[in-house]
């Protein structure tokens, strides 16, 4: 087994890099800011610096993520971004090896794209490891035995569901919805119901601060947007109970996918899932009322992870120090 120094998670919302022996060394938004130039597009900022520019730049500056619905839609930009991040954590080109975290339902074409990204940034040996396995390890679940675990990871641009047994995935699915989908829905909801134009950063703040799945929640928040008709600034108090109309359909779809997945499984596997509870990680697992919502609409018990934001990258970090478990995972992929 080769010595592996880095674990890399490039999600639609954040990119994380774990360094063996050091811990989580980098966590920055998976964002690029670029503007047209005579040679094509000129990169003006990445990561944290790019996020600071959202909604505050010239019209010709594009701020985007190269990862859409869990896939590297433009691997050239993914490579630019990853190289900038790796340089921050002091990697050595062609020498350092890495675990690269991937979706459980990854296609052959997407594997090729990721390997192209790794080749472009001059990494050495790269092992592709499914994110859901890392999430289980990160939350202290034993994946290397006959007991079945089910994990749901609600990420930035995709949601993954997987049933795991003996360090391998026996059933998995990826939904093209995540936290960014909810942000966009909030933008559209306020434009339709209030005639108010807001940016995605404001929508994200609303989601995090007053987003709730509780019925008749009293949370509220005052925001400033632009009136769609007069084009002038306008303050609006957004009620959590109203915002629920923009949020709930996404969680309804996730719960429906969990139910559909479990209903296709043999009784023995379902019994293990009930006993172990469904592990839920990812930023949107922190949504107010999510556990209560699942208890009402899902016939199976869930368990919210202790560190839902970082479970996946921390699990990959644990694999860096457990070569036996990592080797067992890689042999079954």
Predicted structure pTM score: 0.92
Whether the predicted pLDDT of 216 surpasses 80: yes
How many whole angstroms separate alpha carbon 159 and alpha carbon 295? Answer: 19
Query: 6-30+65-134+311-332 with 179-246: one CATH topology?
Result: no
Q: Does domain 179-246 sit in CATH 3.30.590.10?
A: no
Q: Kindly report, residue by residue over 165-195, the tens digit of the pLDDT.
A: 999 999 998 898 999 999 999 999 999 999 9
Weakest mean pLDDT among 113-117, 150-154, 267-271: 113-117
What is the band of 51 on the pLDDT scale with cuts at 50, 70, 90? very high
pLDDT at res. 71:
79
% the chain with pLDDT above 70: 99
Residue 252 has pLDDT above 70, yes or no: yes
Delimit the domains of the chain by residue range. 6-30+65-134+311-332, 147-177+247-304, 179-246
Q: How confident is the model at residue 1 (pLDDT cuts 50, 70, 90)?
A: low
**Terminal Cα distance for the chain, rounded:** 15
Please give the structure tokens belonging to residue 303: 């368990």
**DSSP, residue by residue, 135-201:** HHHHTT---SSSS-EEEEEE-SS-EEEEEEETTEEEEEEEES--HHHHHHHHHHHHHHHH-EE--HH
Task: Kindly state the helix (H) or strand (E) to which residue 81 belongs, with its residue range.
Answer: helix 75-88
Give dist(CA 221, CA 238) in Å, integer.
Answer: 5
Domain 6-30+65-134+311-332 has CATH 3.30.420.40: yes
277-309: pLDDT as tens digits: 999 999 999 999 999 999 999 999 999 999 999
Task: Report the alpha-carbon distance of residue 312 to residue 230 in Å, rounded.
Answer: 46
Q: Which residue would you say has higher pLDDT here, 273 or 36?
A: 273
Residue 74 has pLDDT above 90, yes or no: no
Average pLDDT over residues 119-135: 96
- SS3 assignment for 30-72: CCEEEEEECCEEEEEEEHHHHHHCCCCCCCCCEEECCEECCEE
The CA distance from 238 to 223, in Å, is: 7
Strand partners, 230: none
Name the average pLDDT for the chain. 93
Of all helices (H) and strands (E), which one includes residue 291?
Answer: helix 290-297
pLDDT at 2: 79
147-177+247-304 fold: Nucleotidyltransferase; domain 5 (3.30.420)
């Amino acid at each position: 087994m080769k010595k592996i120094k880095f674990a890399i998670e490039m999600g639609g919302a954040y990119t994380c890099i774990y360094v063996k022996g050091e811990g989580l060394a980098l966590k920055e938004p998976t964002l690029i800011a670029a503007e047209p130039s005579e040679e094509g597009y000129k990169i003006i900022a990445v990561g944290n610096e790019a996020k600071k520019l959202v909604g505050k730049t010239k019209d010709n500056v594009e701020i985007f993520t190269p990862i859409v619905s869990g896939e590297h839609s433009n691997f050239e930009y993914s490579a630019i971004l990853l190289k900038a991040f790796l340089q921050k954590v002091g990697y050595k080109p062609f020498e350092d090896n890495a675990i690269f975290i991937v979706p459980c339902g990854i296609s052959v074409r997407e594997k090729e794209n990721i390997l192209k990204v790794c080749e472009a940034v001059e990494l050495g040996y790269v092992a592709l490891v499914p994110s859901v396995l890392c999430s289980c390890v990160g939350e202290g679940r034993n994946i290397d035995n006959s007991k079945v675990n089910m994990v749901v990871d609600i990420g930035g641009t995709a949601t993954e569901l997987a049933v795991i047994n003996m360090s391998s995935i026996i059933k998995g699915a990826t939904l093209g919805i995540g936290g960014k989908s909810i942000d966009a829905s909030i933008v559209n909801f306020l434009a339709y119901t209030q005639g108010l134009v807001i940016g995605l950063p404001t929508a994200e703040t609303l989601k995090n601060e007053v987003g709730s799945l509780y019925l008749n929640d009293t949370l509220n928040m005052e925001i400033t947007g632009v009136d769609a008709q007069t084009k002038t600034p306008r303050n609006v108090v957004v009620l959590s109970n109203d915002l629920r109309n923009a949020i709930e359909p996404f969680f309804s779809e996730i719960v429906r996918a969990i139910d559909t997945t479990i209903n296709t499984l043999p009784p023995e596997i379902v019994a293990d899932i009930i006993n172990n509870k469904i592990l839920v990680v990812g930023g949107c697992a922190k949504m107010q009322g999510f556990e209560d919502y699942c208890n009402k609409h899902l016939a199976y018990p869930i368990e919210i992870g202790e560190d839902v934001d970082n479970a996946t990258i921390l699990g990959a970090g644990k694999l860096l120090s457990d070569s036996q478990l990592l080797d067992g995972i890689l042999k079954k992929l």
